[in-house]
Amino acid sequence: MKKIVYTLMIGLMASVHAAPDVYKYVDEHGNVSYSNKPNGGKKIDLPMISTVDNTAPSYVAPPANSSGNSGSNNMTNIVNPASGSKRIILEEELKKERELLAKAEAELASQTQIRLGNEKNPLKKDERLLPFKETVEQHKNNIKSLEIELNGK
C-alpha cells in the first residue's frame, strides 16, 4: 500500500514540474504573442487544467442465463423483444418524442413570425429557420421509427 502511495506522490510531483513556462510578448504595435522561450517576454503563470475523459462506457448485454440459472436477469428482460418492458419503454419514448415535436413545431411557428433586420432577402430568413425545420423533421423521423418498432415491420 505504501508503494502505491509513494508512486502516486512521485507521479503528481513530476507532473507539476513538467508544466512548461509560458512567456507573453507585446510588440510596439500592441500585438500579443506567447512563447515557451524567454526572449525578453514576461513569464506568466497559467492555472493547471484538469481533464476528464467524457467518453461513455460501451454497453455489452449479459448473456441470457449463461450459467444455466432460471433466475430472472433484469437487463435481459429489458432487451428481450418478447418482454412487456420493451414495449413500455418504447411507448414512453414515443410519448416524449411527441411532446418534443409539439415544442419544436411551436418554436418553428414562433420563429417564422419573426423577421430580423438583416432578413430583407427571404433566403436569409429561410437560412435562419433551417435548424428549426431540421429539429422538427428529426422528431418526426424518431416518431416514425418508434411507431414501426412498436407495431412491427
Please tell me the total count of domains within the chain: 1
Rounded to whole angstroms, how far apart are CA atoms 33 and 24? 6
Among the ranges given (15-24, 35-44, 119-128), the one the predictor scored with the smallest mean pLDDT:
15-24
Rounded to whole angstroms, how far apart are CA atoms 115 and 136? 20
| Count of residues making up the chain | 153
Give the best-scoring range by mean pLDDT among 54-68, 75-89, 94-108: 94-108
Give pTM, 2 decimals: 0.45
User: Got the DSSP string for 17-34?
Assistant: HTSPPEEEEE-TT--EEE
Is 5 part of a structural domain of the chain? no
CA distance readout (Å), 47 to 32, 50, 51: 19, 9, 13
Is 55 part of a structural domain of the chain? no
Domain boundaries, position 141: 81-151
Is 63 part of a structural domain of the chain? no
